Amino acid sequence: MSNYEKLNIGDINQESSRLSADGQNSNNFLNNFVRMPEGNGAVTLRFLPPSKGSSFYCATRTHRMNGRNVHCPRELEGARWLGQCSVCEYYNWLWRESEKDGVSADEADAFQTKARSIKPIERYYYNVIVRSQIGANGETEENVGPKIFSCGKTVHKMIIRAIVGDEELGESPLGDISDLVEGRDFKLIKRMRKSGSQSYPNYNESKFLEPSPLGTKDSAKEWLAGLHDLSSLRSLKTEEELKHELKMFLGVAQENASSGFDPSEFKLEGAPTITLPVPDSMKSQEGAGATSVETAPFPVSDSVKAEEDVSESSPTSEEVKASSDDGGEDDEVLADDDFLKELRSLG
């Protein structure tokens, strides 16, 4: 038995501590968010009022690039998203290129598929109390929070419309749904719908319930003292960092040029490619002179597929410009498991 050594329990303990800390940090982060059922289901929420000097919700948009979500730096001002964003500009440019005379159907499709993959998706964050949920021990927990409720544009619109009402639809305003005494719980109902080969969540059956108190005086005081700083979820990159993300997405820059890693070495041989021109602003500044990017057909995320499936038609260049300004079609994916995993990469 001399060829064997005893197990180093000290080293194993160190590895156990590392794994436990990593898992604990991840769980602590994810536990801040409202979790939706995987399939059909419902969750009842109570929106909390903002602290002094803060907003009721935080609005943002994200672009999906290089395997991570990147916040769009444009700010929501009134009805429009305004400001400088290289990714939005490239998104609009791709659509304009796809509609030029002389562009083949395959080339137009490649431009538009590329554009959809980085489309700005609106998201909104609220502070809420979850009226009932199943805890880690399998038991039902009541009045849990404060937690962060993350939703897309359609559910956000539903919330805002309930507060202010809608004369055209004959809906009277509910007023301050976050009022401590006469506010209202929100029953978010999720139904999975099929569109072609894809499934997507639908929340049209969701509704606000009858007025009710937030809770006891002591519990309300505790919850209001523990509100999350929603604005901290929106971590913005500098314009230089944003352009570098876009260059990596186009293949004209590497994540870390000093590492010597060349992603083109692993390009799939024999895959059909279409050459897309690169705008002058995106060309390499190191003298590489990249003027185009060859792209093979690539998969589109499920959320983008769901958007395309429920779209009536592809937008014109003018519609795309407006879409880029107002957030475009809504991403209906809430804080499900996949999105919660991606939240850790935001910013």
pLDDT tens figures, 94-148 = 899 999 898 889 989 988 998 999 999 999 999 999 998 776 677 788 899 899 9
Of 15 and 311, the structure prediction assigns the larger pLDDT to: 15
Question: Which stretches does DSSP call E strand in 135-221?
Answer: 140-151, 184-195, 198-202, 207-211
Residue 68 confidence (pLDDT): 85
pLDDT of residue 220 exceeding 70:
yes
Mean pLDDT of the residues in the chain = 76
Q: Locate tokens 């590329």: which residue?
A: 114
pLDDT digits 0-9 by tens, 13-72: 777 776 666 555 555 667 889 988 788 889 999 999 998 889 999 999 999 988 888 999
- Secondary structure element (H or E) that encloses residue 128, with its range: strand 121-134
**CB-based contacts of 110, cutoff 8 Å, min separation 6:** 274, 276, 295, 297
Please give the pLDDT value at position 307: 37
Q: What is the pLDDT of residues 260-296, one digit of tens each?
A: 555 555 444 544 455 566 666 555 444 444 445 444 3
* Among the ranges given (66-70, 145-149, 160-164, 214-218), the one the predictor scored with the smallest mean pLDDT: 66-70
Residue with the bigger pLDDT between 158 and 259: it is 158
Question: What is the rounded radius of gyration, in angstroms, for the C-alpha atoms of the chain?
Answer: 24
Mean pLDDT, residues 188-201: 88
The DSSP call for residue 166 is: B
| 168 token code pair | 């055209």
What pLDDT is stored for residue 1 in this prediction?
54
Q: Phi-psi category of 66—alpha, beta or left, where left has phi over 0 and alpha has psi -120 to 50?
A: left
> Residue 155: helix, strand or coil by DSSP?
helix
Q: Residue 10: its pLDDT value, please?
A: 79
Kindly state the tokens that stand for 334: 């809430």
pTM > 0.75: no
- Is residue 6 very low, low, confident or very high in pLDDT (cuts 50, 70, 90)? confident
Are 180 and 129 within 8 A, CB to CB?
no
Q: Which domains does the chain show, CATH number per domain? A: 37-103+119-236+307-347 (3.90.198.10)
| 265-302 core/surface letters (b: 16 or more CB in 10 A; e: else) | eeeeeeeeebebebeeebbeeeeeeeeebebeeeebbe
> How does residue 185 score in pLDDT terms, banded at 50, 70 and 90?
very high
170 vs 226, higher pLDDT: 226
Decide: 133 and 109 in contact? Cβ < 8 Å. no
Is the pLDDT reported for residue 332 higher than 70? no
